[in-house]
Structure 1
Amino acid sequence: MQMPPLSLNTLRTFEAAARHLNFTRAANELCVTQAAVSHQIKALEAQLGKSLFERTPRGLRLSDAGATLAPALQQAFAQLAQALQALDDGTPPERLCVGVVGTFLHGHLLARLPAFRAQHPGIDLQVRTHNNKLDLLPEGLDAAIRFGDGAWRSEAATPWAPTPLAPLCSAALATGLRAPDDLRGHTLLRSFRNDDWPAWAQAAGVRLPPPRGPQFDSSVLMVQAALQDAGVALAPLAMFRRELASGALVQPFATGVDLGRYWLTQPVSREPSPALERFKEWLLATMPA
């Protein structure tokens, strides 16, 4: 049976809701009410005959059908924006070079880049990864997303959402972790921040031996090691939602510890460009509710 034509406005509404995983934020972006977004999503689900979202204790998440449709729409809208740009008056795009710590790129930004391109086709966004140690001006960066306490010399810092750290491990290894003290018998994978595990142990009310496991300069690599049963990682929960939702990665204990957050930083000596201001506004709008 041939599917009836789908409204472009309805598809655009779903794309925004899928990107934010929040109807209110999608409504703010589209300049409509939350009820209008909900109505459009219900109408699309009725046409498709499939649910596109699931409600969980942590909020909205995409169903299997929604996860299939969302990236295709993001790509389609990005291609449409590029085609429209080709018809404009030939104004050159504004270059914006942003350094992004790899964990944030993996856990949040990468999936949303097509949406940014669709919304801001006049910005030539260049992304360079780093391991949280960089110098903006000498490296030719307009801004950087990094993890820390917000205190960087000669840089203005705009905070993103709180990002607590918690133990993460494979499903197989989690079966032997019933209480925080059980960690004493497991390898504790480490980041370059030596105070992470001691701070978590204090918050959990447990005494742990000094971590002796491998040390990583990227939480993404550390969590990949945990998924391969190399040990238990202490990593930002918000950046590994996909792995947690799939069940491959497990958070064995509820305790988290807040040792910093992600920040968008920029040199105080340079007036922010219009492109950077638009990127900052867009980035803050993607924060989870």
Structure 2
Amino acid sequence: MTRSYIPLNALRAFEAAARHLSFTRAAIELNVTHSAISQQVRVLEEQLKCQLFVRVSRGLMLTTEGENLLPVLNESFDRIAGVLDRFTGTHAREKLKVGVVGTFAVGFLLAKLDHFYRSFPHIDLHLSTHNNRVDPAAEGLDFTIRYGGGAWHDTEAEFLCRAPLSALCSPALAGEIRSPADIMKFTLLRSYRRDEWTSWLRAAGESPPSPTHRVMVFDSSVTMLEAAQAGAGVAIAPVNMFTHLLNSERIVQPFEIAIEHGSYWLTRLQSRPVTPAMEDFSAWLAGALNKKGPPQEGGPGDGVTA
């Protein structure tokens, strides 16, 4: 049976438009006109006999067929680029795409990158940050560093480190806190996980906050700690990711009390083949963390922030 020929330009135009959800931004990236992108996508849709995009008020949205096609093209283009990169010099270069939850990036990973690059100069590391909601297939990620209990659908998860949560606040607020009960004088800063403050206060021997207590909710612990430094309230966050703020005394941990609702994990889709660069990164990260082993009981399978 003869297969119909699909132009590479049409696939490339679709892939760029699908990543940006915009024909205009895809055209800028590929240095062509908006109409050229639209025409190439239309050619692809005609050959595949399906619709890949639908127009919505805010721009474009992928159809189910488009969502299925995008990760396949991402992986294919990455493999082609990886092979071509091997012809650019005497050393074979590898590309590694890692999506990392922002708190872990700021609290640990970024400070270690110089050591990684010196150890593996042949690996081009592409980092993107997320708030623990991420689609590794659609984004073409080799690894995703997440916070949770280690159980994600169709995913292999390797334990990285614990993430105990504790109360953190500015030095000015800490001066007004003598006991855990005093924290209730202030606005409580937390993630979307509603039970964090309840669990921490119970561990401190106090009653949980009332439903009417002032609360500010964040999708990033990094942003939350910025608010805490500004005196907006008392945050509950993974304390070992903010040692730089504690050491500089911009943030204070008024009590040693801590709870564990999850840990950090290095995850990979089971369908993603393991490359030498992935093996190198995994081993390097384990050594940099000097990890002791996962907790006996994990936290929730997925969450936001941390």
1:235 aligns with 2:233: no
Calculate the TM-score normalised by the size of structure 1: 0.68
* Aligned residue identity for 2:201: A
CA distance in 1, matches of 2:282, 2:202: 35
Gaps of 5+ in 2: 1-87, 292-306
| Residue matched to 2:116 | 116
* Aligned residue identity for 2:204: A
CA distance in 2, matches of 1:94, 1:137: 19
1:171 aligns with 2:171: yes
* Cα distance change of structure 1 residues 92 and 145 upon mapping to structure 2, 3 Å threshold: same
Q: Is the CA contact (8 Å cut-off) linking 2:190 and 2:237 kept in structure 1?
A: no
User: Which structure has the bigger radius of gyration?
Assistant: 2
Identity across matched positions, percent? 48
Gaps of 5+ in 1: 1-87
1:92, CA displacement in angstroms?
4.1
The 5-angstrom pairing of residues 88-167 of structure 1 reads: 89-167=89-167
| Residue matched to 1:282 | 284
* Aligned residue identity for 1:163: A
SS in structure 1 of the partner of residue 134 of structure 2: coil
RMSD: 1.4
* Aligned residue identity for 1:108: F
SS in structure 2 of the partner of residue 207 of structure 1: coil
| Residue matched to 2:56 | none
1:90, CA displacement in angstroms?
2.6
1:99, CA displacement in angstroms?
0.1
| Residue matched to 1:43 | none
SS in structure 2 of the partner of residue 271 of structure 1: coil
| Displaced runs of 4 or more, over 4 A | none
SS in structure 2 of the partner of residue 257 of structure 1: coil
Q: Deviations over 1:139-166 (max 9, x none)?
A: 1101111111111101100011211000
Q: Is the CA contact (8 Å cut-off) linking 2:186 and 2:214 kept in structure 1?
A: no
CA distance in 2, matches of 1:191, 1:212: 14
Q: Deviations over 1:178-215 (max 9, x none)?
A: 11111111110011222211111121111132453221
CA distance in 1, matches of 2:178, 2:261: 24
1:89, CA displacement in angstroms?
4.9
CA distance in 1, matches of 2:145, 2:189: 24
Q: Is the CA contact (8 Å cut-off) linking 1:98 and 1:143 kept in structure 2?
A: yes
How many positions carry a matched residue from both structures? 202
* Aligned residue identity for 2:260: D
